[in-house]
Amino acid sequence: MMYDLCAKRGIPHRNTRKWILAQDDQQMGELEKVHQFASSIGVPTRFLSPREIQEREPEVRAEAGVLESESTGIVDSHALMAFLEGDYEERGGDIVFHTAVTNIEPIHHGEAGYRIHTRRPDQAQPSSDDVIEVETVINSAGLGAIAINNLVMPPDRQRTPYFAKGSYFSYSAARPKPKTLLYPAPVPGHGGLGTHLTLDMAGRIRFGPDLEWVDDPTDLTPNPARLSEALDMIQTYLPTIDRAAVDLDYCGMRPKLGHTSGTFGSTFADFYICEERDHGFPGFVNLLGIESPGLTSSLAIAEFVDEILYGDKGVGTR
């Protein structure tokens, strides 16, 4: 869906492909799990031969093997969001910035909709103008989604937010210069994907994000102490990297549902998408733990939420 939209609307994007790299038998076993799970949900992946690895990316180390995701790519996220914002407004949508949701009241347990209370930063006292009554609420609040969930759900359905800070690292040297996204093999129980190599639309290399658990989701100050560990990780799959050319760049924050991402195909703790009808709140749809893949899967997520609320298949959950 994302490739089709970008091609139709002229949004810059590129099919880069992704390599997941294994350095030993244990890591190769993790790649097998990824491949099996990807195959079960229709995502094309394949293992590369040593000759193909050497011919395509000679500076990449993968002692045990490489699993390639053929459909992975990159997109100009700013251009994508600008299009979606404009398209939404053209269809009659209203966007209100700098406004906090302070409370959500289910009307007759949501059967008659929801009353949303809001407040602007410059507002001393709330007024009746700051209350919105709606039939449905789609909680797609990112880092604030757990807080919104907790305004509606009873104590036994409330959650604790977890925040995974990720530092990115720039690279200023001309070599090595892979053309493919590079990911280390997944670590069981680890909350992230490892410090991987990503590309921007201009072909510039950056590394990250790493993983640092924090309590404050606004803490986006790069931590110099993260650099040495990241360099060691990067050098496992890109041994000729110029360590002196890697530097701190910026940070991002990922909303997490726990301190682990589980294992592929079983208890992966992310992308909780559910209308909470079974818990007594019809019309209230939660989108929790939506990490960065939520950007490129946003169109599919929207289609699924529409199906949950209005499709002929009735209530759904994932």
Does residue 8 belong to any structural domain of this protein? no
Confidence class for position 185, pLDDT limits 50, 70, 90: very high
Confidence at residue 268, expressed as pLDDT on a 0 to 100 scale = 57
Confidence class for position 192, pLDDT limits 50, 70, 90: low
Confidence at residue 263, expressed as pLDDT on a 0 to 100 scale = 47
Q: What is the mean pLDDT of residues 238-246?
A: 95
Of the candidates 223, 264, 12, which has an alpha carbon nearest to the alpha carbon of residue 209?
Answer: 223
User: Do residues 119 and 245 share a domain?
Assistant: no
- Evaluate the CA torsion angle 63, 67, 70, 75 in order and state its sign: negative
Give the range among 154-163, 264-273, 284-293 with minimum mean pLDDT: 264-273
User: Do residues 242 and 223 share a domain?
Assistant: yes
Q: Contacts by 43-50 with C-beta closer than 8 Å and gap 24+?
A: 43/69, 43/71, 44/69, 44/70, 44/71, 45/69, 45/70, 46/70, 48/19
Does residue 3 belong to any structural domain of this protein? no
Confidence at residue 311, expressed as pLDDT on a 0 to 100 scale = 86
**65 vs 122, more confident:** 65
Share of the chain above pLDDT 90, in %: 81
User: Do residues 165 and 134 share a domain?
Assistant: no
Confidence at residue 74, expressed as pLDDT on a 0 to 100 scale = 96
Share of the chain above pLDDT 70, in %: 92
Confidence at residue 189, expressed as pLDDT on a 0 to 100 scale = 56
Confidence class for position 267, pLDDT limits 50, 70, 90: low
Parallel, antiparallel or unpaired: strands 137-139 and 284-288 = parallel
Does residue 223 belong to any structural domain of this protein? yes
User: Do residues 60 and 104 share a domain?
Assistant: no
Q: pLDDT (tens digit, 9 = 90+) per residue, 94-106?
A: 999 999 999 999 9
Confidence class for position 317, pLDDT limits 50, 70, 90: very low
Distance linking the first and last C-alpha atoms of the chain: 19
Contact 198, 210 (CB under 8 A): no
**Residue range of the domain that includes 38:** 17-72+161-256
Report how many domains make up the chain.
2
Q: What is the mean pLDDT of residues 148-169?
A: 94
Spatial separation of the C-alpha atoms in residues 261 and 207, rounded to whole Å: 21
Spatial separation of the C-alpha atoms in residues 118 and 102, rounded to whole Å: 5
Confidence at residue 193, expressed as pLDDT on a 0 to 100 scale = 64
User: Do residues 170 and 59 share a domain?
Assistant: yes
User: Do residues 147 and 280 share a domain?
Assistant: yes
Give the range among 11-15, 188-192, 252-256 with minimum mean pLDDT: 188-192
User: Do residues 23 and 108 share a domain?
Assistant: no
Q: What is the mean pLDDT of residues 31-49?
A: 96
| In the block, residue with structure tokens 């079974």 | 278
User: CATH number of the domain that 122 lies in?
Assistant: 3.50.50.60
Q: Is the pLDDT of residue 3 over 90?
A: yes
Q: Is the pLDDT of residue 269 over 70?
A: yes
Q: Is the pLDDT of residue 237 over 90?
A: yes
Q: What is the mean pLDDT of residues 253-271?
A: 71
Tokens of 9: 């609307």
Q: What is the mean pLDDT of residues 56-61?
A: 96
pTM: 0.87
Q: What is the mean pLDDT of residues 169-178?
A: 93
Mean pLDDT of the chain: 90
Q: pLDDT (tens digit, 9 = 90+) per residue, 7-28?
A: 999 999 999 999 999 999 999 9
Q: What is the mean pLDDT of residues 49-71?
A: 96
User: Do residues 166 and 153 share a domain?
Assistant: no
Peptide bond into 184 cis (omega under 30): no
Confidence at residue 186, expressed as pLDDT on a 0 to 100 scale = 84
User: CATH number of the domain that 242 lies in?
Assistant: 3.30.9.10
CB contact set of 129 (below 8 Å; sequence gap of 6+): none
Confidence at residue 53, expressed as pLDDT on a 0 to 100 scale = 96
Does residue 315 belong to any structural domain of this protein? no
Confidence at residue 194, expressed as pLDDT on a 0 to 100 scale = 74
Parallel, antiparallel or unpaired: strands 74-75 and 65-69 = unpaired
Confidence at residue 261, expressed as pLDDT on a 0 to 100 scale = 55
User: Do residues 56 and 169 share a domain?
Assistant: yes
Among the three residues 256, 282, 302, which one is the final residue of a domain in this structure? 256
Spatial separation of the C-alpha atoms in residues 43 and 225, rounded to whole Å: 37
Confidence at residue 122, expressed as pLDDT on a 0 to 100 scale = 83
